[in-house]
Amino acid sequence: MKNTFKGAITALITPMKEDGKIDFAAFEKLVDDQIKNSIDALVVCGTTGESATLDDTEHRDLIKCCINVTNGRVPVIAGTGSNDTRYAIDLSVHACEMGADGLLLVTPYYNKTTQRGVVKHFTTIADKVNKPMIVYNVPSRTGFNILPETYKELSYHENIVAAKEANGNISSVAETIHLCGDNLDVISGNDDQIVPIMALGGVGVISVLSNVIPKETHQMCSLMQQGKVKEAAALQLKYLPLINALFCETNPIPAKAAMNELGFCTNEIRLPLCEIAPSNREKLVKIMKEAGIKF
C-alpha cells in the first residue's frame, strides 16, 4: 500500500452558521471551489476544520459530505486522530467504510505517551484499516514530538505511508527522510516550509494557505515537482507575509476571517477559540490585498 498523496493538499476549514451549527452548503461550495482551482487532495476534519470541537455525529457527517461532493475528483483524507486509540480505530474504520481515500491521525495529546507508546498507538490503528495512513506530528499543539528513529519504525508498517511534519525542525525532517527513504513520504505541515521540505525530498504540503489561494499553492508544489526550485522559492517568499498573517492568531482563527472576507463562511468559530481581533483582521485584509487576492 505504499502509495501516498502528493502536492498541495488543503486542510479544509469547517464553515459554521451564526447559531454555531455546521454550514454544509457553504462547505460544499468550498470543496467545489478547491477542486476547480487545481488542489491535489483535501483533508476534512483536521485541526483547521476544528476537529477538537466537532461531536462524533458532526465528524462523521462532514467526512461523508466531503466524500460525496468530491465524488472521486480528488482524494479525500479524513482526519480521524484521537488520544484514545480505541476511538481513533472506530472513527478510522468508519471513514474507510464511507470511502475515504486516506486517513490523517495526529499524535496522542495530553496523555504524555512515549516514543514506544506512539508506535503501538499508530500500528494498532494501522492493523485495523485498509486505507493509507498519514501520521501527523505537531508538538506545538500536542506536547509530543515524533523522533526520526520512531518514524523509521513506523515506516515498516504497510498502511503507514506518510508523515505530516509540523515540528518546524528542518534538520529533523532531513534525518527522517534519510532514515526512512522510500518507506515513508514526508509532507510539510507548515506553509512557510513547503519549498525547503520538498527540496529535501518531501512530496507536498497539507496546507492552511490553500484555503485562501489553492491554485497558487498547487503551483508552488508543482514547480518543485518539476525541479523548478527558483520559481517555487519565489512563490514561497511572495506569499510569506500572507502565511505569517494566517498564523497571527491560533489556526484556524485567521483562516476563517480570510475566508469570511472572500465570502465562503461566517465569522463563527467554536469556543474556546474566538473570532480574530479587529486589529489583526485589518492587517490580514491589507496583506491579502497586497498579495493580489481579489475580494
- Positions marked active-site: 136, 164
Give the 3-state secondary structure of the chain: CCCCCCEEEEECCCCECCCCCECHHHHHHHHHHHHHCCCCEEEECCHHHCHHHCCHHHHHHHHHHHHHHHCCCCCEEEECCCCCHHHHHHHHHHHHHHCCCEEEEECCCCCCCCHHHHHHHHHHHHCCCCCCEEEEECHHHHCCCCCHHHHHHHCCCCCEEEEEECCCCHHHHHHHHHHHHHHCEEEECCHHHHHHHHHCCCCEEEECHHHHCHHHHHHHHHHHHCCCHHHHHHHHHHCHHHHHHCCCCCCCHHHHHHHHHCCCCCCCCCCCCCCCCHHHHHHHHHHHHHCCCCC
- Cα–Cα distance between 226 and 7 in angstroms, integer? 11
Amino acid symbol at 258: A
- Cα–Cα distance between 153 and 117 in angstroms, integer? 12
If phi > 0 it is left, if psi is from -120 to 50 it is alpha, else beta; for residue 203 that is alpha
